[in-house]
Amino acid sequence: MKQAGLVSGKVNTVTTDAVKDAGGKGRLLHTVLWVIACVGSLSLSAVSRAADIPLYPTGPSADSSFVRFINGTDAALELTAAGSQAKVQLDSKTPTTVFYPVRAKSDIKGQFSQAQSKSDIATTVKAGEFVTVIALADGSKLKHLTIGEEPDDFNALKVSLAFYNVSAACANAGLQVVGREVMLFEKVGVNALTRRMINPVKISVQLLCGDQATGAPLELGELIAGERYSVFAVPTASTTRLFIASDAVAR
């Protein structure tokens, strides 16, 4: 299919190594996270909505690291930080946290919980890396997936859009612009991500698993030049669904 003027720039692909208000509360959360990360564990004290916090303007510095948490299941779940036992609720309205700055190479620990199911989190973030920890359903249990990225694609005139495919039922995933023969992404493997630049336009996309349209189209909304976003393909009981999140960084 044609890749028209909607898209431009190079594509960065990353695979897995393994399988939120502003103001005073936001500043407190940032401080708590930094302190806990220095002693080897993660702390969260409030939820900041991604849309309320500006994106990191120029990309990470050499010694900065960031981590965010995603609810990729169909039901609400709770994220608990190790050490502090602070909790964050992630549901269908707010399925993702912002990216929290943490000390490079520090141990990030916590737990996803949903009803009686739990999944313990333990990961390390490299300098300059943006890590996304995604909770997923595993039958009646919980599991999680960790995907790291080192973005180098900042452009003030373009939108940086990533596509995370974490649905085992959707091999060779792609995103096609609704109503046009334009592919934003093609042949993205399971448990992988791809990122590229696109023009700041309002579009909807259709998930393709192989050559088959799957699930409902997703309206991306007004994408703003100079900002970063991620589209996630996550499994459900019967199909694969899409949702979009801003790649906002906590201040």
The pLDDT, as a whole number, for residue 61 is 52
Q: What is the pLDDT of residues 236-246, one digit of tens each?
A: 999 999 999 99
In a domain, 251, yes or no: no
In a domain, 130, yes or no: yes
In a domain, 179, yes or no: yes
The pLDDT, as a whole number, for residue 85 is 84
Kindly state the greatest CA–CA separation across the chain.
51
Q: Which residues of the chain have pLDDT under 70?
A: 1-63
Domain carrying residue 125: 7-246
Please state, in angstroms and rounded to a whole number, the distance separating the CA atoms of residues 220 and 15. Answer: 24
The count of domains in the chain is 1
In a domain, 2, yes or no: no
The pLDDT, as a whole number, for residue 200 is 96
The pLDDT, as a whole number, for residue 115 is 92
Please state, in angstroms and rounded to a whole number, the distance separating the CA atoms of residues 127 and 129. Answer: 5
In a domain, 29, yes or no: yes
Q: What is the pLDDT of residues 53-106, one digit of tens each?
A: 332 233 445 568 999 999 999 999 999 988 888 899 999 999 999 999 988 888
